Amino acid sequence: MSQVVIITGVGKRLGFNLAKSLLQDGYQVVGTYRTEYTTLDELRSLGAQLHHVDFYDQSQVDDFIQCLESAYPTIRAIIHNASDWMPDPNWQDSNQALEVMHRMMTIHAAIPYRINLAMQHQLRECGHADIIHIGDYVTEKGSKKHIAYAASKAAMNNLTLSFASLLAPEVKVNSISPALLKFNPGDGEDYKEKAKDKALLPREAGFEEVIEGVKMLFNSRFMTGRNLHFDGGRHLK
């Protein structure tokens, strides 16, 4: 069975740790990145095939898809992890508001939609394949400061439902929606305490939580069109 796993956005944080873990498990990881980080050298040393792709550049997207089509006759999984985080602009700046919404919808909805459609034959050929969309718990409640971001992640969740119906039974399609996974090095203590206090389980989940969720979905033969929530119980606070 094919062991090719495509992961978008492997330069840092969850994407890097997920790619590293799957490489160590013996999968052939094909990853994308927009910025060259030193962490990518470690993935290359482990055998990852990495592609520099700016998903806001349609020609680069087309080239990447063409490369996948020619290089991999079967694909075991696609994990859509690439993401962007842009706050909403001043409501009076309509042009900037449209640009923010366009970029958020591009990276979180249009790109997964395009790649899933293009790769459906290679996924079906695998016989037991997965598509996993990495979403966000914020789709459950919305956001006052990141409206476009939240809306685009909700659109991604809806892709899960549609592609699960389209590609069954050969391909399972699911979402994972985490909340707080790991603080950044520059985060202050006050911010950390406020963030943890939003959940019933007041702590960082860690990247391993989602990585184990991915592996569980890989191993499942009876779950599709669903959304795994790793949010520490924020929806109950």
In angstroms, how far is CA 42 from the centroid of its own chain? 20
Q: What is the pLDDT of residues 176-208, one digit of tens each?
A: 999 989 998 888 899 889 989 999 999 989 999
Contacts of 193 (CB under 8 A, 6+ apart): none
DSSP state of 106: I
Q: What is the pLDDT of residues 1-40, one digit of tens each?
A: 569 999 999 999 999 999 999 999 999 999 999 999 999 9
- pLDDT (0 to 100) of residue 1: 59
Contact 130, 174 (CB under 8 A): yes
Which H helix or E strand runs over 21?
helix 13-24
A 10 A CB-CB count for 163 gives: 24
**Cα four-point dihedral sign 64, 67, 69, 74:** negative
For the domain made up of 4-236, give the CATH fold: Rossmann fold (3.40.50)
Is 149 an annotated catalytic residue?
Answer: yes
Find the catalytic residue in 33, 37, 149, 191: 149
CA distances from 34 to 30, 113, 229 (A): 14, 19, 27
For the whole model, what pTM was predicted? 0.96
Return the percentage of the chain with pLDDT > 70, whole number: 99
State the virtual CA torsion across 138, 140, 143, 148 in degrees, nearest 10: 80
